[in-house]
Structure 1
């Protein structure tokens, strides 16, 4: 039933001019013009992302023992960044997490959602927890930009007052990521009406535009090409509030804690621009590490003025004392940009 509803939603988006490929809205006819719309307010469909939902009496306890953040601190009107690690402390996925009705919802890259759900489900055993793929149960949009708060208030009736808080209404749930960014999780039958109100002050854009805004906010997304490559601190997950160092054990916790407290972290995530096409998983090189890679692209998106902006994990010394090159030792040069938040010392 949900699949039919979501297919109807995508048909509606196509009627609005959306070019959709493999479930992702690429653009609405003019990708270059959409990139320039980032100076204003945008609305984008998030169907390319997956949602895993958990419910049941033991859900909070179960997720507390699996994820990097303090799930027990996630109140009914709260949201948090979170991660899921292998026993070696490497990220299998990271999430925007919120509560919606009885569910704990984890939004993540669509290409890893099925695998993460399968792996987490293996550990439920006798706990009173039900896990499911909820990707098609709601319509999810993101609204960002100067008029985002006004647009969301008009469409949803009200907005969460603070970042990383949510507000439920008749149309669904609004999750506030910051001053000017909101994710909406909507009842499918209300999505068209919400969209039409949002369109009065927001420009529809494809997923690459939202990817660019997200990565320029310093928010990483683990995808299939980068699974099990990074300890959470390498992608600055603790800097955006996605790791709790006070909670109990979870897979990889000892390694994550060791990275935090023993010695200085040798790899960090940087924001950069490159005048070449880039993609998640691309290797980086620098002159100080001859013949070996010094880092990896975490996420990449076309930049409004041309080229690509990237989030990239690299050796700190290589990034700060030398020049990073894309894909080869003599490849395109990465020009570092300041992150919008401070990194822990």
Structure 2
């Protein structure tokens, strides 16, 4: 476990080493992705970057990602670096039947930026996207607007780009601040620790617009759709604060007053008050019933999410963004 040593700093600019990119290029890139991902791939139009996920035939998530179209026949998936190789190897089994090439982009630099976003974007000759879930790009970089209590952006560019990184943090404190914003946005990125473990709805993926229920078949689609239409999802991602000075392990159990496990930690970060905030996949009974919660013996409190647990169609999101 990590131990808190300082208060959480304000969001500046920080290297995000936990992210990676998988590029998909070729004449059949769109058709190939359409058969594998929960997104309606045509919605990735060079402006809107839909959330998406990849599943096993049993509907369990292999990875979740954000999908950008960078050019004709060129798509980029942003995801956890712990899942880059496994997702690429999984997709290559299907890509062999398409004119599509997969490339793991290991030399890209990922910068999370708050107030300094415009200055870095200017160095890259980029316009700043002003709406969450949209991006801009040129031949050397892309900029994606992220959700959060304060405006923030993700910059992604080549290692050889001439960008002054002197003001960019490369420390855990800065990454913790970025992670905290993800948590408060109700956004959890799957890692290898819990791969093939959750239905997409357990990470509230349909409430974030990460599942199209209007597209055709993709791997795992039948199970995901059945869980949605039959109301079979009994676990949901929830936001929790804990009175502790140590970060819990991924998968650590949240228990009730009878010491019975009612959830498991997905991601956590230190807050500004010397405690911890986290996202955990919890039994829906926790939200329906008042019960004490604990994590490693420390009292835990259920906090509200910034969105309702209801289906949001990405097709409608795209209309709203372009309206």
TM-score range, shorter chain: 0.7 to 0.9
Return the TM-score normalized by structure 2. 0.84
* Larger helix share, 1 or 2: 1
Higher relative contact order (CA 8 A, sep 6+): 2
Q: Aligned residue for 2:318?
A: none
**Residue of structure 2 equivalent to 1:120:** 91
Would the aligned equivalents of 1:50 and 1:110 in 2 still touch at CA under 8 Å? yes
User: Are 1:167 and 2:124 matched, yes or no?
Assistant: no
Of the three residues 215, 221, 227, the one matched with 1:247 is 215
2:36 alignment partner, one of 66, 91, 101: 66
Native 8 Å contact 1:109 1:221 kept in 2: yes
Deviations 1:165-218 (A, max 9, x none): 21124651111124712111113233532x35xx3xx87653222111111111
Aligned mate of 2:236, from 232, 247, 268: 268
Q: Is 2:77 the partner of 1:106?
A: yes
In the other structure, the counterpart of 1:218 is 186
Unaligned runs of 5+ in 2: 312-323
Instruction: Structure 1: state its 5+ residue gaps.
Output: 1-25
Q: Which of 276, 293, 296 matches 2:264?
A: 296
Aligned to 2:21, what secondary structure does the other structure show? Answer: strand
Query: CA offset at residue 241 of structure 1?
Result: 1.1
- Residue 44, structure 1, aligned to residue 18, structure 2: no
TM-score (norm 1): 0.79
Task: Tell me the alpha carbon deviations over residues 63-111 of structure 1, each in whole angstroms, 9 at most, x when there is no partner.
Answer: 1110111112210233121111111111111112212245311111111
1:256 aligned onto 2:224: yes
Is the partner of 1:96 in helix, strand or coil?
A: strand
* Mapped partners of 2:260, 2:36: distance in 1: 34
Change (3 A) 1:155 1:56: same
Question: CA distance change for structure 1 residues 266 and 49 in 2, over 3 Å: closer, same or farther?
Answer: same
- Post-superposition offset of 1:284: 2.2
Cα distance, 1:335–1:188 mapped onto 2, change above 3 Å: same
Name the SS of the counterpart of 1:36 in structure 2.
Answer: coil
Cα distance in 1 for partners of 2:121, 2:233 equals 42
RMSD of the alignment, in Å?
2.4
For the pair 1:338 / 2:309, whether they are aligned, the reply is: no
User: Residues 80-229 of structure 1: matches in 2 within 5 Å?
Assistant: 80-101=50-71, 102-136=73-107, 138-144=108-114, 147=115, 150-151=118-119, 154-157=122-125, 158-169=127-138, 171-178=140-147, 180-190=151-161, 192-193=163-164, 195-196=165-166, 199=167, 206=172, 207-229=175-197
8 Å contact kept, 1:43–1:205: no
SS in 1 for 2:22: strand
Q: Is residue 281–residue 298 contact of structure 1 (8 Å, CA) maintained in 2? A: yes
Preserved CA contact (<8 Å) 2:120 2:163? no
For the structure 1 residues 77 and 123, does the alpha-carbon distance in structure 2 shift closer, same or farther, using more than 3 Å as the test? same
